[in-house]
Chains A and B, each alone.
Chain A
Amino acid sequence: MIREKQVPMREQDPAVRAKNFDEVPFGYTPDEAAEEAARCLQCPKAPCVAGCPVGIDIPGFIGHVKEKNFAEAVKVLKSSNALPAVCGRVCPQENQCQGVCTVGIRFEPVAIGRLERFCADWEAENERCCPEIAPDTGKQVAIIGAGPAGLTAAGELRKMGHAVTVFELLHVAGGVLMYGIPEFRLPKAIVQREIDALVDMGVEIRVNEVIGQVKTVDELLGDGFDAVFVGTGAGLPRFLGIPGEHLNGVYSANEFLTRANLMKAYLFPEYDTPIKVGRRVATIGGGNVAMDASRTALRLGAEASLIIYRRSEEELPARAEEIHHAKEEGVDFNLLRNPVEFLGKDGQLVGVRCIKMELGEPDDSGRRRPVPIEGSEFDIEVDAAVIAVGNGPHPLVPQSTPDMELNRWGNIVADDVTGQTSKQGVFAGGDIVTGAATVIEAMGAGKRSAAAIHKYLMNGTAYGLRLCGVDHKRRSNRPGTAVRSRADS
């Protein structure tokens, strides 16, 4: 008889953790991991593998965990996932592997994410499993952007024996894993550990390299790189386009989280970058970034942290665990509310005017469309607001590569399978192609592109033709730089 419920993962008490930046869950012990692993049926169909964007042999690694052969489990994991410590923490498992788990039909699904996290952390504390590197091919690949897509592509290509250089514009590698996702959800030391593992494999990482300005993609191709992978992500924050948005106290989620995470403003003045958090903070949006911002606000000392989201609980796009954690910590969810104006006094935000919403007919996304209830406006007193309604494509590489096709939103047009762009030798993947999505989807794209780049380098052609069904219309004007609002997207 299998356990109906998952082995619980111990975590910090909500009241305590809402005041610190330490990681929330403690992770499994070896015994807890083995006990949870025993819940896996090892079913031959293994729907979980198909549910994983990087196709991890999930029953394979879990089988080893059950037997406490942790080193073997790590090997299986790492053969298909370069960043398991990250994925175990930030993947939306409930929509992927765990969402299709056979055990989940009757009981709680196997806690695959927790087991993945356990294995990665076990490796860090015990023996490092360095993957085998194929003999040098003499080929050089430039990767632009050291986020999830770029790092994954870098690891895969290095394993195949290519020389890989990653160019990152910020002062550290990691992309959104470093500047966006907070310490309490993804400790930066863990991200650094995964990056160090790539460096140990021989991947060269060059920070402070603003490709698009200091060098163009064409110049990289002329400098001896045989192929280029663009994984520059969705870094351009969207605003709402409502009055008062430029008042002091209104932040993009990128600014708020970058100050707190990348620049460590929570340690100001020990660190030089400050952050003004306010007494009452409203975060606009319902995704993971909104949860991260609202929980960061509490940790920075806000007395009240509110989520304002225009749809209902059911449509909240954040991971279930993040919503659960945010609620436990005291984040106040204001659902079916939409901001219509930021209110200011002497240039400083003092409130947000909202309108009540109700759900109408389903829209293009299949979710019921929120419709404003006329005359229902009301004001909420806040002194800071964080706008977390998504990001557009980072503009620097697309703008400086005139012969690379973009869609009308400024995303790079690339083949779904190979990542091949309209420019020879140039591949792209992750949010710069798809628009803002998840870490693991970007990693999946990086992995698929790496396989295609390998074929291109060895045979002179990436397999397949351009298959993607996305908008091929040529952009008519410079995309991306103007501040765009949600209404445009």
Chain B
Amino acid sequence: MYKILSKRTLGPSIREYVVEAPDVAKAAKAGQFIVLRLHERGERIPLTMVDTNTETGGVTLVVQEVGKSTREMGDTFHEGDSILDFAGPLGEATEIENFGTVVCVGGGLGIAPLYPIARDLHKAGNKVIGIIGARNEELLFYEDEMRAVCDELIVMTDDGSYGRGGFVNGPLTEILEAGKEKVERVWAIGPAIMMKVCAEATRPFGVKTIVSLNSVMIDGTGMCGGCRVEVGGAAKFACVDGPEFDGHEVDFDLLMSRQRYYHEEESCSMDQYLKEGATS
């Protein structure tokens, strides 16, 4: 059992949990994820780690309540409660070195996994330009955290309710077009469509763009192959070959199609949950 050390709400249906898993906290690196299972009937949920604390043994996760399991987690798992299963770290760590100037783009919940990458890139001596965006002000989180690890931070909302209005790819293109300084590498993490658009924005400039893929997976350790994606024409497993890949090589349309495969069942599960309440 893995105890929830703290829980706080970051926005509507967005919560941050710190879960006690000392061995995972000790081994974890930026870019890696864990898989958790709430209870005996639960599914295995992959979540990217946001932060770790080797003293408290805490692993920080940010969860958006988009489906039945994440909703149930938000409704019924509180500080002091325990999660049944928690395994990690999983996946390959982010390649961190001093590249020079880098741009870190986070869209929606993607800001959470982006944060430790920006932090470590900054620590490694890079000039980090951050661009974070959300649909509206309410859904934006981690602005202060990101500001602390970025040399410049641009904040966007789709509806203009906070920061600049528009999508995150706008300022990304502006920076590349202005050409004031050479951008060595870009990270773009968020919904598949946002990563696709960002990868298209950097392609004409030939700037390597790393994306983090959240395909459907069961075990997260290379066994089911459900998370397979096509990268540069070859099949790759997001769980063990990724989750980060070269965005210019990823077949995003395939990724999005595969992500949609279980939508019907996901709604069915949610309906059942809303009708009957938690199963735990």
The residues of A with any CB-CB pair to B shorter than 8 Å are 169-171, 179, 207-210, 213-215, 235-237, 239, 245-246, 248-249, 251-252, 254-255, 258-259, 262-264, 268-274, 276, 347, 394-396, 480-483
Contact = CB atoms under 8 A, between A and B. Distances in A.
Given A269-B265, A272-B68, 5 more contacts: A210-B88, A213-B89, A264-B41, A272-B69, A274-B266
29 contacts: A170-B221, A171-B44, A171-B84, A179-B219, A210-B87, A213-B90, A235-B221, A235-B223, A248-B258, A248-B260, A252-B226, A254-B223, A254-B225, A255-B224, A258-B223, A258-B224, A262-B218, A270-B279, A272-B69, A273-B43, A274-B265, A274-B269, A276-B262, A276-B265, A347-B254, A347-B257, A394-B223, A482-B235, A482-B241
Counting chain A CB atoms within 10 Å of each CB, which of B87, B241, B257 scores highest?
Answer: B87
B119 interface: no
B23 A215 contact: yes
Interface string B20-51: 00011001000010000100011110000000
B87 A208 contact: yes
A248 B260 CA distance: 9
A483 B225 contact: yes
Given A245-B235, A248-B261, A272 B240 contact: no
Contact of B86 (A170, A208, A235, A236): A208
Counting chain B CB atoms within 10 Å of each CB, which of A207, A215, A272, A276 scores highest?
Answer: A272
Indicate the size class of the contact surface on chain B: 35 or more
Which 3 pairs of residues, A with B, have the shortest CB-CB distance? A274-B265, A347-B257, A483-B235
Contacts of B260: 248, 347
Given A259-B218, A263-B218, A481-B237, A272 B257 contact: no
Contacts of B43: 263, 271-273
Contacts of B143: none
Interface of B: 23-24, 27, 32, 37, 41-44, 68-69, 84-90, 218-219, 221-226, 228-230, 234-237, 240-241, 254, 257-258, 260-262, 265-266, 268-269, 272, 279
A169 B261 contact: no
Contacts of A481: 222, 236-237, 240-241
Nearest to A245: B235
A281 to B, nearest CB: 15
A262 B85 CA distance: 14
A255 B89 contact: no
Contacts of B269: 268-269, 272, 274
Counting chain B CB atoms within 10 Å of each CB, which of A171, A347, A394 scores highest?
Answer: A171
B87 A209 contact: yes
A269 B268 contact: yes
Given A269-B269, A274-B265, A258 B85 contact: no
A273 B262 CA distance: 10
B44 A263 contact: yes
A252 B88 contact: no
Contacts of A214: 23-24, 27, 88-89
A406 B41 CA distance: 38
A246 B235 contact: yes
A215 to B, nearest CB: 7
A213 to B, nearest CB: 5
A482 B236 contact: yes
Contacts of A237: 223-225
B225 A255 contact: yes
Nearest to A206: B23
A171 B230 CA distance: 29
Given A269-B269, A483-B228, A396 B262 contact: no
A346 to B, nearest CB: 8
Contacts of B90: 210, 213
A273 B265 CA distance: 9
A246 B254 contact: yes
Contacts of A239: 225, 228, 235
Contacts of A236: 222-223
A105 to B, nearest CB: 43
Nearest to A233: B223
Contacts of B84: 171
Contact of A258 (B42, B219, B234, B241): B219
A395 B240 contact: yes
A396 B88 contact: no
Contacts of A251: 225-226
A245 B235 CA distance: 9
Contacts of B68: 272
Contacts of A273: 43-44, 218
Counting chain B CB atoms within 10 Å of each CB, which of A245, A254, A259 scores highest?
Answer: A254
Contacts of B27: 213-215
A396 B230 contact: no
A210 B89 contact: yes
Contacts of A394: 221-223
A274 B223 CA distance: 17
Nearest to B39: A272
B229 to A, nearest CB: 8
Given A209-B87, A210-B221, A258-B218, A246 B228 contact: yes
Contacts of B262: 274, 276
Contacts of A207: 85
A249 B261 CA distance: 8
A236 B235 CA distance: 13
A264 B89 CA distance: 25
A482 B228 CA distance: 10
Nearest to B235: A483
Given A213-B88, A248-B258, A268-B265, A169 B221 contact: yes
A252 B225 contact: yes
Nearest to B27: A214
B167 to A, nearest CB: 25
Contacts of A258: 218-219, 223-224
A263 B235 CA distance: 25
A128 to B, nearest CB: 25
A483 B254 contact: no
A258 B227 CA distance: 14
A396 B222 contact: yes
A483 B218 contact: no
A265 B150 CA distance: 44
Nearest to A216: B27
A255 to B, nearest CB: 4
Nearest to A483: B235
Contacts of B225: 237, 239, 251-252, 254-255, 483
B219 A170 contact: yes
Contacts of A259: 218, 224
Nearest to B266: A274
B221 A396 contact: yes
Counting chain B CB atoms within 10 Å of each CB, which of A214, A271, A274, A394 scores highest?
Answer: A214
B85 to A, nearest CB: 4
B46 to A, nearest CB: 13
